[in-house]
Amino acid sequence: MGFEPRYTITSRVARGLMLIEAARKAVAALPLNEGLLAGLRQSARLVSTHYSTQIEGNRLSREQVERVLVHGDRIAQRERDEKEVKGYYAALDFAESYAAENETITETCIRKLHALVMGGGKARCKPTPYRDGQNVIRDSGSGRIVYMPPEAADVPAMMREMVAWVNLHAADVPVPVVAAIAHYQFATIHPYYDGNGRVARLLTNTVLHQHGYGLRGIYNLEEYYARNLGDYYAALDVGEGHNYYMGRAEADISGWVEYFVAGMAASFEAVREKMRQSAPAGDRSDWIRSLDARQRKVLALFEEWAEITTPRIAELLKLSPRGARALAQKWVQDGFLVIANPSKRGRTYRLAQP
C-alpha cells in the first residue's frame, strides 16, 4: 500500500495559497537584471543557511556565517559550526541546480543533499545510505523520548513511496501543499541518524524550485521556523503517540499543512514588501535602466545592509581597495551614493534616492 497522506485544504490554506500566488506573480514581474539577482540570491541563501542550521543548534551569528561562506574566514573554536554552514550552503546550491535540470525528485537526489549537509559541502561526496538501525528523538531538556521513527527495515520502502507520491501529485495538488507534505513525511520517516531536519527543509526548497515556486531564488522559509521554534515543532508533532506505529502513520496532517502554507505566504509576502519598499520613488524600471552595470550589481548589497563599505564594493566588483574608494567617491558625486559615516576608517555609504 502506497503513501496516502490525510489532509484537508481548509479556508486558511486557501487564503495562504492566494497570497503565495499574488506574491509570486508580483516578484516575477520585477525588472531585475542578472547581476542584481545574483546578489539577492546569495543574500537569501546566507539567511537560509543561518536559520536552518541555527534550528539545529549552530552557534554562528548571521554575520559570522557570512564571514565563513563569503570571505573564507575561520571562527575560533567553531570548526563544527563552520562545517555545518558550509554543508547547508552547498546543499542549497545543489538543490536549486538540480531543480533546474530535473523534473522529478529521486532518492539519489535526497541522499546527495544529505551527503552535502553532513560532509561540509564537499563536492565529491557520495550519496549517503539510509540508517541501518533505530533512532529516537528526545527532549533536549528532560531527555524523554518525544518521537520514535519507523524501524530501519521499513525506511527504504517508505522513502520510495514518499518520492513516488511527490512526483505523481505535483501536477494535481497545489505545489505548496506538495512541498509541505514532502517536508512532513521526510521528517516522519527520519531516514538518517542525523541531519533529517536540514534535509527536510532542503527537500522543500527543491520541490518549490522544480515547479515554479522558487521566487527567483530570493526567498527563505527557514527564518519563519527559527523565529518561533515552538510553533514549528508543535505543527510537526502530529498523532497521539510518540511511536510511528501508534498513531503517527494514520494522523490527519491538516494542521501542519496550514502552518506550512501560512509560513510560505508570510515569507513570500516579506520578499514582495521588501522589494516594494526598496524601490525608488517613481517608476522603478526607468530608474534601474538609468544605472550602469556596476551600479545595478551594487544594488544587491542594499537588499541586505542599509549601509555598505568600500571593502564590500571591492569584493563584489573584484576591485582593488583603492579602485573601490575611487569608484565610491565618483558615485557620491554622481548622486548614486551618499556618505553615511564620514570617518576615514569606518566610512560607510547609503543608497541615494533619485
If we measure between CA atoms, which residue out of 275, 345, 334 comes closest to residue 309? 345
Is the model's pLDDT at 312 over the cut of 60? yes
The full DSSP string for 6-64 is B----HHHHHHHHHHHHHHHHHHTS---HHHHHHHHHHHHHHHHHHHHHHTT----HHH
Residue 234 lies in a domain: yes
Q: What is the mean pLDDT of residues 179-192?
A: 97
**Alpha carbons 29 and 91: distance in angstroms, whole number:** 28
**CATH number where 133 lies:** 1.10.3290.10
Q: Which three cell numbers stand for residue 328?
A: 565610491
User: Could you tell me where the DSSP H helices lie in the chain?
Assistant: 11-28, 34-55, 62-70, 79-101, 107-118, 155-169, 175-189, 196-210, 222-227, 229-236, 254-278, 284-289, 293-299, 310-317, 321-334
| C-beta separation of 86 from 120 below 8 A | yes
Show Cβ contacts of residue 273 under 8 Å, excluding neighbours closer than 6 positions.
Answer: none
Reported as a single tens digit per residue, the pLDDT across 229-248 is 999 999 998 877 788 988 78
Calpha distance 350→348 (Å, rounded): 7
Determine, yes or no, domain membership for 155. yes
46 & 152 share domain: yes
Domain assignment present for 236: yes
Residue 57: which region, alpha, beta or left (left: phi > 0; alpha: psi -120 to 50)? left
Where does the pLDDT of residue 281 fall: very low under 50, low under 70, confident under 90, or very high at 90 and above?
A: very low
349's enclosing H/E stretch is strand 348-351
Residue 296's pLDDT is 85
Which pLDDT band holds residue 304 (cuts at 50, 70, 90)?
confident
Instruction: Specify if 46 maps to a domain.
Output: yes
Indicate if 192 and 215 belong to the same structural domain: yes
Rounded CA separation 117/179 (Å): 20
**Could you tell me the residue range of the domain that residue 321 belongs to?**
284-351
Q: Is 196 in the same domain as 81?
A: yes
In a domain, 4, yes or no: no
CA dihedral 74, 79, 85, 90 (to 10 degrees): 90
Per-residue pLDDT at 336: 86
290 lies in the same domain as 181: no
Distance CA 78, CA 300 (A): 29
Domain shared by 170 and 314, yes or no: no
Note whether 213 and 179 are within 8 A (CB): yes
Let me know whether 86 and 201 are in one domain.
Answer: yes
Whether residue 4 contacts residue 185, with contact meaning beta carbons closer than 8 Å, is answered with no
Q: In this predicted model, what pLDDT tens digit does every residue of 144-185 receive, in sequence order?
A: 888 999 999 999 999 999 999 999 999 999 999 999 999 999
Domain count, the chain: 2
Residues 131, 145 share a domain:
yes
Amino acid 127: pLDDT: 94
6, part of any domain: no
**Domain boundary, last residue among 259, 278, 297:** 278
Say whether both 180 and 256 belong to one domain. Answer: yes
Task: Write down the mean pLDDT value for the chain.
Answer: 90
324 within some domain: yes
Verify that 272 and 294 share a domain, yes or no. no
Query: Based on the domain organization, do 268 and 292 belong to the same domain?
Result: no
Confidence of residue 31 (pLDDT cuts 50, 70, 90): confident
Domain identity same for 245 and 306: no
Residue ending a domain, choose from 234, 260, 278: 278
Q: How far, in Å, CA of 289 to CA of 293, rounded?
A: 9
The C-alpha angle 194, 198, 203, rounded to 5 degrees, equals 120
Give 293's pLDDT tier (boundaries 50, 70, 90).
confident
CATH of the domain at 288: 1.10.10.10
Of 116-125, 274-283, 344-353, which has the strongest mean pLDDT? 116-125
d(CA 158, CA 167): 14
Q: Tell me the whole-structure pTM to 2 decimals.
A: 0.79
Half-sphere exposure of 70 (CA within 13 A, CB side): 20
Domain end (from 253, 278, 303):
278
Judge if 130 and 70 occupy the same domain. Answer: yes
In a domain, 215, yes or no: yes
